[in-house]
Structure 1
Amino acid sequence: MTGVFLITVGNLIQAGIALPCFHGGINIIPLASNLQVAALLLTALVFGPRSGFLAALIYMSLGLLQVPLFGVGGNISYFLTPSFGYLAGFMPAAWLAGQFSRQQRMEDPLKLSMSAILGLGVIQLSGILNILLGHWSMRWSDPLSQLIIKYSISPCLVQLALCCGIGLLALPLRKLLLLN
């Protein structure tokens, strides 16, 4: 249940960069993504493939059963949105990233970050396939290039950067929780 909680809270938190101000204090610049994918991948890297997969499955099930967890609410009609493919990629991404993080000699933040990037690649592939299928079946009126920029390219750059942080955070969390 920790993973479901992390994914849900991650959906509510906007990713941002904290920069110092010239007048003192900190200025937070919002980025084009939330922490939902980062929380999913962190769950998979820390708790393993089974926990990551189950957290994604429970999260998706609750969202499709009208619990407003997704970015635009939640219900069965979410199947028809351009962003559904990205959510559908959560389960295989969590399993794959978690599986790679459990391999021998994975006690390195760089390797853990690469596992997170692999999971992100699965999510992106799943999302782009859904967008292509929806475009070819004329489900959406928006141009294909606009859909791919909005749902893939724009958030992907931020999510790639977050994968580096996930790798740095996963290793001490695994040691702290005695999961190695």
Structure 2
Amino acid sequence: MKLSLRDMLLIAIFAALTAVGAFIKIPTPIVPYTLQFLFCAYAGILLGSRQGLYSQALYILLGLIGIPVFVNGGGPAYILQPTFGYLLGFALCAYVIGKCMERFGAAVTFVKLLGAVLLGLFLIYLIGVPYLYLIVNLYLGKSMALSKALAVGFIPYIIPDMILSVLIAATGVKVLAILRRTGFIKNSA
């Protein structure tokens, strides 16, 4: 698989946008609310499965090599942060949303796109909450019940993230139509 210069630029742009999303945050205990999910979802919508995954993998790689693109900095030790699982979820989210987009082809509707975005969001939480639970209990040595992990890493965020998902789907359908009309995206993908 060979990436064109255009593909590489788009991957880098979405990695950078996800990093910017990390700094647009509402601080809350343990897991801050950021706009990273917005850019992660758009990476899948606009770039497709592979390139969406690559953009989020690039973002994670940049943070792990020490560039402070994560909410609380960067570096290889960041894998021991309770929130690192959500970052892993971003990569899977972008891939799955992109895979859904590839299956939809040109027949993208608001409902289909919302389903894909909500599936991606579900995967972020499916990886993020158990990772939070394991790091707090096993690495940090603090006792945290799974219900407490849900209370701090899921419940306060699910409603705002679902609202954001609706906005992503509504704007995504419009943006895709414009990009297809202008020839930036092919009608078949």
TM-score using structure 2 length:
0.78
Mark the CA change 1:165 to 1:142 in structure 2 (over 3 Å): closer, same or farther.
Answer: farther
Q: Which residue of 1 aligns with 2:120?
A: 119
What is the Cα deviation at residue 131 of structure 1? 2.5
Residue 82 (structure 1) aligned with residue 82 (structure 2): yes
Q: Which has the higher helix share?
A: 2
In 2: Cα distance, 1:109 partner to 1:102 partner: 15
TM-score using structure 1 length:
0.81
Verify the 8 A CA contact 1:131 1:148 in the aligned structure 2. Answer: no
Q: Which residue of 2 aligns with 1:21?
A: none
**Number of corresponding residues:** 164
Residue 72 (structure 1) aligned with residue 83 (structure 2): no
Q: Secondary structure at the match of 1:67?
A: coil
Q: Which residue of 1 aligns with 2:168?
A: 166
Q: Which residue of 2 aligns with 1:2?
A: 13
Mark the CA change 1:115 to 1:140 in structure 2 (over 3 Å): closer, same or farther.
Answer: farther
Amino acid at match of 2:178: L
Give the number of the structure with larger relative contact order, counting CA–CA contacts within 8 Å between residues 6 or more apart. 1
More divergent stretch after superposition (33-42 vs 116-125) = 33-42
Q: Which residue of 2 aligns with 1:40?
A: 40
User: Which runs of 5 or more residues in structure 1 are unaligned?
Assistant: 16-31
Q: Which has the higher strand share?
A: 1
Verify the 8 A CA contact 2:93 2:124 in the aligned structure 1. Answer: yes
Deviations 1:34-72 (A, max 9, x none): 211111011111221112101100000001111111111
Mark the CA change 1:113 to 1:91 in structure 2 (over 3 Å): closer, same or farther.
Answer: same
CA RMSD, aligned part only?
2.0
Amino acid at match of 1:65: I
